Amino acid sequence: MVTVSRYFNNVWKSFWTTMVGMRITGRYLLQKPITVQYPDERMPIPNRYRGIHYLEQEKCIDCLACARACPIDCIEMDAVRHGKELEWISFTLDYQKCMFCELCVYPCPKDCIHMGTEYAFVTYDRSEFKHDLLSYKGMSRDAKIRMVDADKKKAEKEAAKAAKPAHEEAAESAPEEGAEDAGAE
Amino acid sequence: MGFLQEKVAELGSGTNLIRELLAGAPRPELVPDWAIPLTAVFIGVGILLAIVSLCAMFGTWLERKVSGHIQCRYGPMRAGWHGWLQPLADGVKLLLKEDLIPLGADRVLFVIAPALVLSSILGAMAVMPLAPDFFFADAPMGVFLILALTSTTTIGVIMAGWASNSKWSLYGAMREAAQVVAYEIPLGVSLLVPLMVAGTFNLSEASAGQAGGFGIFGWYIWPVGFGTEGFSLGNPFMIPALVLVFVAVLAETKRAPFDLPETESELVAGFLTEYSGIRWSFFFMEEYAAMFLYCVVASFFFLGGFNSPLTWVFEDGGLLPNVFLFNVMAFVTIVVKGFLGMFVMMWVRWTLPRLRIDQVMTMGYKYLTPLSLLCVLGAGLWEWGKWMIVG
Amino acid sequence: MDRELQGTITLPEEGRTLASGEQEFVLDVRTQDMELNMGPQHPATHGVMRILVRTDGELVTGAQPHLGYLHRCAEKIGENVEWLQYLPYTDRYDYLAAMNNNIGYSMAVEAVMGIEIPRRAEMLRVICAELNRIGSHLIAFGTYGLDLGAITPFLYAFREREWMMSLFEKICGARLTYSYIRIGGVFNDAPPGWLGEVSRFCDTFEVKWREYYDLLIENQIFVGRTADVGVIPRDMALDFGLTGPMLRGSGVDFDLRRDMPYSLYEEIHDAGAFKIPVGTGEKGTLGDCWDRVWVRVVEMMESVGIVRWCLENIEPGPVIGDIPKTLRVPAGEAYVGIENPRGELGHYVVSDGDKVATRCRVRGPSFCNLAVVEEILSGTLLGDSVAIIGSTDVVIGETDR
């Protein structure tokens, strides 16, 4: 008798739990889906999102703090210093390596590297994953003006000093440097 | 040629229709006699193929939409309105896919298997009447012919599993064999209940027996019906029989929770593992066509067949008797009923986890078979008692 | 002799090199054994694990997990990068519970340094850890349903996990590999309105949780597939050093959050905010797959309780201590074990006063829990093997590291 009751209990339970499950799924069938149609509408991206980096190049002082903080050494930067001003050659971030940990952002003394909200990064070639963050190469116009001003000031100083015979050599070298820089640009 | 001619001449209405059409042609004598029945056969097979592939196409679309909405997502949305052209895009993709035959596979069997599977369902589909006056083969033993033909798909599946030269495929094939054998019995036995009530094996006759009652109340499923002859006592065993048939059909068509031959989480894809492209789609078409066919057969014997309020309006004793519209509405009715059945099967599929193979066997042999036998016994006693009392 | 007449066959020794222990199978027909490679690419192995299964028809007569397909030298990297730089790597071994990994590593380093972290940081840590535990268990529950053929609960679980991930996205900007918890605290305070949204998440989750329970856990087919399957008796669980839900599913009442409390858990437990669910063998034998899954599912609600307690008791304050940018950890060593969603996640770090760890060892719960699979797989059916592997809830990133 126990066996028989267990048999029919099993049949009933299977039927009943199936009905309970179908009630739940059926209810969702009639509700509006929660997903979005991706390319047309997108989920909002929070401010703190860790996407593709962007660099405030004007602020950057090429101190390499971010490159040192990076666990996988995916940041490479190269710049030539002209006194205080920087002539940018490259600032690349290899997104094949980058793991978006945001450790590069916090050590920055000038607060100039950030992670943006852009996340789609599709290329046809692996080499394109080496992403250059620079918005311009070389020197900015302001930096150039500042440099020229600084050079002028320096030249004036040197000229003032050149009046004294002991500093002849220094006075000669200053204009030469300026000429080289102009040629490089 | 004489033998063939005799055989195909029995094809009947289709051949006659073509002859009538040809009579209007300028020089009908140029068309040889044997070509006419052959043309009829080709047209018939063409229509059947169209039905099967349309079933599969609409079935896949429905499946994806139903599963999507059950799971709080949309499903296909890109191709056409709510993705209704998606099956077409998929079809094109499948046709253009590389036709891959794995190394070490039995090439002949590998190629034959999908064709065999598809042809068996085509044959079974021919027995299904599309409208009261439009059918391919009005077989007197319709139900059992359908059951017999659909179970030959098993041979194709086993063939595919064996020929693939993959262990997963072999497992899938063996499971299919075990499962189909186990569930043929309860399916056949529980179908005896409506057969007893209807007193016929023929689908059209079963449908005709359920006419009247606004197209709804004459169905065999009601314990108390209201048909053409007024109120009548139905059979209370029809409802459990329908549940049993439904479960057995789920197993026969390899649908979850009985999708053991395909079990994507255990056997990768079961017997389909090595198939791709259009060959794979043949199995797929078979699955959806079989679902549709079984649902239509069940609707013929339980849920009124051609009878619905739509057809009731246009039938002989109805409001607007019209033979043509009656046939059209009958067709629409069975299509709707078939897809409603498929919808419930999908609903079940996207709700339940899968059984284990031994549980499938247990369910077939220990639960469904005895319960269906009980049903038949009860239904038989009920009918006998009704006959003794009412006469 | 009698045995052969009855059809009972003891498998020959060479045929069962993979199975351990003496086992006899009653067979009708003796068929050829078949070796089956489940994985590395198989839908049920939860990543790139390979299990070499020896089968006799549907019967599994032996199984051997093969590891190492996702080996990334995480521990060795830990000895080559700076203390803080290793943090993103901890995200990546148990990628489903990155917050918990972060906490484990940070606590180990903090233990060497001997520093206290601010109370608000502890609160945020606990909230994040418990939310992540919910997310991890949701995956465990969902993929387990998927292994057993129920696809819909998986998507429901992902729906709630999506919300959890967007909560994390708001607080730290990442969805999977958070690196949110830093040595000395957490790196950012919760944005305005975040705690309120966590509270709303908890409210919604309680409703949805009931659905999961009715839809899958109570389902008769699910019970049939999991009850009495893959039974790990209490003694075996202890022998294999199982931890987490695997251990509790076998009826051993042990949880590091209560028994070796760290962070704020002692206070939270004393406040009665959570209980430790222990398997009871309700649907079958004690220690079967159902018990393990049940423990996970019930734990989700307990985690909600913990999060609620934290939301009630959180106070404003600093979230990170005074930690230099380049960390120099004083010489010393520490082992800190925390309760990961999968069990005890231990970090053992040795420092000799440098910027870089001398030794960084991880005790992964999945790795230890996976060991038992080989033992319980033999003698089951092929369908059960999937259920058993799923019930161990391994994350291959962590077993291989």
Per-residue pLDDT tens over the stretch A83-118? 777 788 888 888 888 888 888 888 888 888 888 888
The pLDDT assigned to B28 comes to 67
The pLDDT assigned to C26 comes to 47
Computed from CA positions of residues C388, C391, C395, C400, in that sequence, does the dihedral angle turn out positive or negative? negative
- Inter-chain contact B353–C215, Cβ cutoff 8 Å? no
Q: What mean pLDDT value characterizes chain C?
A: 83
- Inter-chain contact B73–A35, Cβ cutoff 8 Å? yes
- Residue B257: cis peptide before it, omega within 30 degrees of 0: yes
Chains contacting chain A through 3 or more C-beta pairs under 8 A: B, C
Is the pLDDT at B13 greater than 70, yes or no?
no
Q: What mean pLDDT value characterizes chain B?
A: 82
The pLDDT assigned to A180 comes to 46
The pLDDT assigned to A183 comes to 42
The pLDDT assigned to C14 comes to 42
Q: Closest chain B residue to C142 measured between Cα atoms?
A: B353
Q: How far is CA B237 from the centre of its chain?
A: 23
Is the pLDDT at B40 greater than 80, yes or no?
no
Please choose, from the candidates A21, A52, A134, A120, the residue with its C-alpha nearest in 3D space to the C-alpha of residue A86.
A134
Residues from chain B that touch A15, judged by Cβ atoms under 8 A, are: 243
The pLDDT assigned to B390 comes to 74
The pLDDT assigned to A57 comes to 81
From the list C34, C44, C148, which residue is nearest B167 (CB)? C34
Is the pLDDT at A75 greater than 70, yes or no?
yes
Q: Closest chain B residue to A14 measured between Cα atoms?
A: B352
The pLDDT assigned to C29 comes to 55
Q: What is the dihedral of CA C240, C243, C245, C246, to 10 degrees?
A: -10
Q: Please state at what angle helix C289-313 crosses helix C382-392, rounded to 10 degrees.
A: 20
B354 touches chain C (CB under 8 A): yes
Q: How far apart are CA C255 and CA A57, in angstroms?
A: 51
C88 touches chain A (CB under 8 A): yes
pLDDT in tens, A5-47: 888 888 888 888 888 888 888 888 888 888 888 888 888 888 8
Is the pLDDT at B255 greater than 60, yes or no?
yes
Computed from CA positions of residues C227, C228, C231, C234, in that sequence, does the dihedral angle turn out positive or negative? positive
- Inter-chain contact B70–A29, Cβ cutoff 8 Å? yes
The alpha-carbon gap from A38 to the nearest alpha carbon of chain B, in Å, equals: 11
Chains contacting chain C through 3 or more C-beta pairs under 8 A: A, B
Q: How far apart are CA C396 and CA A28, in angstroms?
A: 33
Residues of chain C with confidence (pLDDT) below 50: 1-27
CATH number for the domain formed by residue range(s) A53-141: 3.30.70.3270
The pLDDT assigned to C10 comes to 46
Residues from chain A that touch C88, judged by Cβ atoms under 8 A, are: 71, 99, 101, 103
The pLDDT assigned to B16 comes to 66
- Inter-chain contact B357–C382, Cβ cutoff 8 Å? yes
From the list A14, A20, A46, which residue is nearest C170 (CB)? A46
The pLDDT assigned to C12 comes to 46
DSSP, res C274: -
Within 10 Å of residue B336's Cβ, how many Cβ atoms? 13
Cβ neighbors of A109 (< 8 A, separation 6 or more) are A61, A63, A65
C381 forms beta bridges with C59
B171 touches chain C (CB under 8 A): yes
- The percent of residues in chain A predicted with pLDDT above 70, rounded, is 89
> What are the structural domain ranges in chain A?
53-141
- Inter-chain contact B259–C149, Cβ cutoff 8 Å? yes
Please choose, from the candidates C134, C144, C123, C142, the residue with its C-alpha nearest in 3D space to the C-alpha of residue C167.
C134
Q: Closest chain B residue to A17 measured between Cα atoms?
A: B352
Look at B301 and A168; give whichever has higher pLDDT.
B301
Size of interface A-C (CB pairs under 8 A): 79
Q: Closest chain C residue to A46 measured between Cα atoms?
A: C170
Q: How far apart are CA B340 and CA B59, in angstroms?
A: 11
Residues from chain C that touch A33, judged by Cβ atoms under 8 A, are: none
From the list A34, A69, A106, which residue is nearest C159 (CB)? A34
Three-state DSSP string of C327-381: CCCCCEEEEEEEEECCEEEEEEEEECCCCECCEEEEECHHHHHHHHHHHHHCCCE
C145 touches chain B (CB under 8 A): yes
Within 10 Å of residue B361's Cβ, how many Cβ atoms? 18
What are chain C's domains?
Answer: 71-400 (1.10.645.10)
Please choose, from the candidates C314, C303, C297, the residue with its C-alpha nearest in 3D space to the C-alpha of residue C275.
C303
- Inter-chain contact A37–B72, Cβ cutoff 8 Å? no
Q: How far apart are CA B312 and CA B298, in angstroms?
A: 20
DSSP, res B131: B
- Inter-chain contact C220–A14, Cβ cutoff 8 Å? yes
From the list A15, A22, A35, which residue is nearest B74 (CB)? A35
pLDDT in tens, B320-337: 777 777 888 888 888 898
Mutate to test the interface with A, among C82, C99, C217, C219 (most CBs of A within 10 A): C219
Task: Answer whether B196's CB lies under 8 Å from B209's CB.
Answer: no
For chain B, positions 332-351, list CB contacts with chain C under 8 A: 350-351
- Inter-chain contact B357–C215, Cβ cutoff 8 Å? no
Q: How far apart are CA A77 and CA A64, in angstroms?
A: 7
Mutate to test the interface with C, among B175, B354, B358 (most CBs of C within 10 A): B354
- Inter-chain contact C177–A21, Cβ cutoff 8 Å? no
The pLDDT assigned to A152 comes to 85
The gap between the terminal CA atoms of chain A, to the nearest Å, is: 99
B256 touches chain C (CB under 8 A): yes
- Inter-chain contact C173–A14, Cβ cutoff 8 Å? no
The alpha-carbon gap from C155 to the nearest alpha carbon of chain B, in Å, equals: 6
Q: How far apart are CA B130 and CA B66, in angstroms?
A: 26
C58 touches chain B (CB under 8 A): yes
The least confident of B89-93, B224-228, C395-399 is B224-228
> Mean pLDDT, to the nearest integer, of A134-142?
79
pLDDT in tens, B101-110: 888 888 888 8
Q: Closest chain C residue to A9 measured between Cα atoms?
A: C220
Which ipTM value was assigned to this complex?
0.80
Please choose, from the candidates B125, B186, B121, B128, the residue with its C-alpha nearest in 3D space to the C-alpha of residue B151.
B121
Token pair of C228 as six digits: 């009495």
- Inter-chain contact B263–C149, Cβ cutoff 8 Å? yes
- Inter-chain contact B354–C150, Cβ cutoff 8 Å? yes
**Which residue shows structure tokens 């991206």?**
A45
